[in-house]
Structure 1
Amino acid sequence: MAFLDYEVLRLIWWTLLGVLLIGFAVMDGFDLGVGALLPFIARGDVERRLVINAIAPTWEGNQAWFILSGGAIFAAWPLLYAISFSGFYLAMFLVLAALILRPVAFKYRSKSNDPKWRARWDWALFIGGFVPTLVFGVAVGNVLQGAPFRIDTDLRATYEGSLLGLFTPFTLVCGLLSVAMLVLHGSAWLAVKIEHGPVHCRARAIGTGAAVASLVLFAIGWGFVASGNGYVAQGVVDPFGPSNPTRLTTVVEQGAWLRNYARYPWMIVAPVLGFGGTALALAGILFRREAAALVGSSLGAAGIISTVGLSMFPYILPSSIDAHSSLTVWNASSSASTLVLMLVVTLVLLPIILVYTAWAYRVMFGRVTTAQVIANVDLY
Structure 2
Amino acid sequence: MILHTLISYEVLRLVWWLLLGVLLVGFAVMDGFDLGAGMLLPFAGRNDLERRVIINSVGPVWEGNQVWLILGGGAIFAAWPQLYAVSFSGFYIAMFAILVALILRPVAFKFRGKRDEPAWRARWDWALFIGGFVPALIFGVAMGNVLRGVPFRFNPDMHIFYDGTFFGLLNPFALLCGLVSVAMLAMHGAAWLQLKTQGPVAQRARAYGSVAAAATIVLYALAGFALWKFVDGFRVTSALPADGPSNPLLKTVEVHSSAWFANYEAHPWLYVVPGLGLAGALVALLGLRMRAELMTFVASALSIAGIILSVGVSMFPFILPSTIDPRASLTVFDSSSSHLTLFIMLVVTAIFIPIIVAYTSWVYAVLRGKVDAAAISEDRGHAY
For this structure pair, what is the TM-score category when the shorter chain's length is used for normalisation?
Answer: over 0.9
Structure 2 segments unaligned to the other structure (5+ residues): none
RMSD: 0.8
Residue in 1 that maps onto 2:334: 331
Residue in 2 that maps onto 1:152: 155
Which among 132, 135, 138 is matched to residue 132 of structure 1?
Answer: 135
Residue in 1 that maps onto 2:225: 223
Which among 356, 377, 383 is matched to residue 379 of structure 1?
Answer: 383
Which among 211, 214, 222 is matched to residue 212 of structure 1?
Answer: 214
Paired residues in the alignment total: 379
Identify which range, 242-251 or 108-117, moves more after superposition: 108-117
Counterpart residue type for residue 211 of structure 2: G
Residue in 2 that maps onto 1:112: 115
CA distance in 2, matches of 1:233, 1:221: 24
CA distance in 1, matches of 2:155, 2:331: 16
Residue in 2 that maps onto 1:56: 59
Which among 30, 33, 37 is matched to residue 34 of structure 1?
Answer: 37
Please say if 1:95 is aligned against 2:95: no
CA distance in 1, matches of 2:284, 2:145: 28
Task: Report if aligned partners of 1:21, 1:66 keep a CA contact under 8 Å in 2.
Answer: yes
CA distance in 2, matches of 1:304, 1:325: 27
Which among 367, 370, 377 is matched to residue 367 of structure 1?
Answer: 370
**1:266, distance to aligned residue in structure 2 (A):** 2.5
Please say if 1:182 is aligned against 2:198: no
**1:265, distance to aligned residue in structure 2 (A):** 2.4
**1:267, distance to aligned residue in structure 2 (A):** 1.5
Report the secondary structure of 1:316's partner residue: strand
CA distance in 2, matches of 1:290, 1:204: 10
CA distance in 1, matches of 2:266, 2:81: 29
Residues 253-287 of structure 1: CA deviation (Å, up to 9, x unaligned)? 00110000122223111111101111110110111
Counterpart residue type for residue 192 of structure 1: L
TM-score (norm: length of structure 1): 0.99
TM-score (norm: length of structure 2): 0.98
Counterpart residue type for residue 26 of structure 1: V
Report the secondary structure of 1:231's partner residue: strand
Task: Report if aligned partners of 1:174, 1:221 keep a CA contact under 8 Å in 2.
Answer: yes
Runs (4 or more) in structure 1 with deviation over 4 Å come to none
CA distance in 2, matches of 1:255, 1:35: 38
Identity between Structure 1 and Structure 2 (%)? 57
Task: Report if aligned partners of 1:153, 1:246 keep a CA contact under 8 Å in 2.
Answer: no
Residues 334-370 of structure 1: CA deviation (Å, up to 9, x unaligned)? 0000000000000000000000000000000000021
Please say if 1:274 is aligned against 2:243: no
**1:44, distance to aligned residue in structure 2 (A):** 1.1
Residues 233-254 of structure 1: CA deviation (Å, up to 9, x unaligned)? 0021111110001111111000
**1:2, distance to aligned residue in structure 2 (A):** 2.9
Identify which range, 340-349 or 111-120, moves more after superposition: 111-120
Residue in 1 that maps onto 2:252: 249
Report the secondary structure of 1:251's partner residue: strand
Residue in 1 that maps onto 2:72: 69
Residue in 1 that maps onto 2:197: 194
Residue in 2 that maps onto 1:164: 167
Correspondence list, 1:5-16, <5 A = 5-16=8-19
Task: Report if aligned partners of 1:184, 1:210 keep a CA contact under 8 Å in 2.
Answer: yes
CA distance in 2, matches of 1:150, 1:19: 28
CA distance in 1, matches of 2:141, 2:75: 21
